[in-house]
Amino acid sequence: MDDEAQSARSRAPLRGALLGCGFFAENQLHAWRELEGVEIVALCDLDAGRLERFAASFSFSPSACYTEAERLFEEVGLDFVDIAAPTSAHRSLITLACAHRVPVICQKPFATDLHDARMMIEACTRAGVSLTVHENFRWQAAVRETIDALRDGAIGEPFFSRISYRSGFDVFRAQPYLASTKRFIIADLGIHLLDIARALFGEVERLGCQTRRVSADIEGEDVATMMLAHASGVTSIVDCSYATRQSEDPFPQTLIEIDGERGSIRLLAGFRLQIDRLRDGRIERTERLVAPSAPSWSTPPWTPIQQSVVRFQADWLAKLKTDDLPETHGIDNFHTLALVEAAYQAAEERRIVIPQRW
């Protein structure tokens, strides 16, 4: 390839394929279309009807649509794939991506168990393929502001935190399959909160967990409370519920409390970030709004999550171009998935569990 051709290629948008056209994939595709220097050129889904409907809503031609991932990889030149298929399909799709040396973004949870997670990470490492897990909660505007305030030393060394997501929102209307999932709220929602805990306070040495199923119409747990002992010395409580009835439901907001040696941070309902600092023997309070800015395609109440998808994918795109590791690369997210596994084990065996480490 001559210099002129190389220069033209470097200016061309990165070519990606979206594998899986279900509930959340719409957000990912909208977000890609909002970013410069990238283009989704192909879609894939095993369900031909769902694929056709999805493609029509985003004006894809039939020639860009595949029901067989193998054919897509063989026929389309790709710079990356964004996997939004069910977790059970992740290993086979990542194996294909490795065979074709294509970088991967994969929806959470990216593995059915920690053994599969290790196999996929190792396969990507051998192939020299970037593996990043689509973990977007830490990229929500309000959560990110909270993380940044703590990292900037606003309250000194933290020692206690509560990360809470309690709602009665009917998540089953848009995702009816969740009602028949035997592992529900920790695997679907708690995984995000556990990742926030890691982003705030680092790795976890011990974990305890209590779960309960309040709704009689579902298979899995809809309430979970976890206590984490971080290696940094912080104790965090992570609690989540889809059985909490309130007149003003904060869905889909994550609420955070952090106590430190010199003050406290509170991310309150309504996207209010409140910081109390100890200065000259007195507590001084500052408060500001950290509400998300809605993408043009955003649909309330999903705005905080939809904006975070844009922010996550923008950061991934920037890191890919510089060869830096994204925050939620495969090995990092292995430790979040390990907390999910430890939580279920702790709840089942009614004991404190030491999470696996990479």
Nearest one of 238, 252, 255, 267 to 305, comparing CA atoms: 252
Residue 9 has pLDDT above 70, yes or no: no
Per DSSP (E only), the strands in 120-234 are 131-134, 158-166, 204-212, 223-230
**Residue 16: its H or E element:** strand 14-19
The pLDDT of 183-191, averaged and rounded, is 97
The pLDDT of 307-321, averaged and rounded, is 96
The pLDDT of 263-275, averaged and rounded, is 98
pLDDT at 270: 98
Split at pLDDT 50, 70, 90, the class of 323 is confident
CA distance 276 to 278: 7
- Reported as a single tens digit per residue, the pLDDT across 12-26 is 899 999 999 999 999
Split at pLDDT 50, 70, 90, the class of 7 is very low
Q: Which domains does the chain have, with CATH numbers?
A: 3-134 (3.40.50.720), 137-291+329-349 (3.30.360.10)
**Residue 41: its H or E element:** strand 38-44
The pLDDT of 27-47, averaged and rounded, is 98
If you search the block for the tokens 């990216």, which residue do you land on? 110
Averaged pLDDT of the chain? 96
Residue 252 contacts residue 136 (beta carbons within 8 Å): no
Residue 8 has pLDDT above 50, yes or no: no
Neighbours of 187 (CB within 10 A): 22
Prediction pTM value: 0.95
Q: What is the DSSP string of 83-151?
A: E-S-GGGHHHHHHHHHHTT--EEEESS--SSHHHHHHHHHHHHHHT--EEEE--GGGSHHHHHHHHHHH
Split at pLDDT 50, 70, 90, the class of 198 is very high
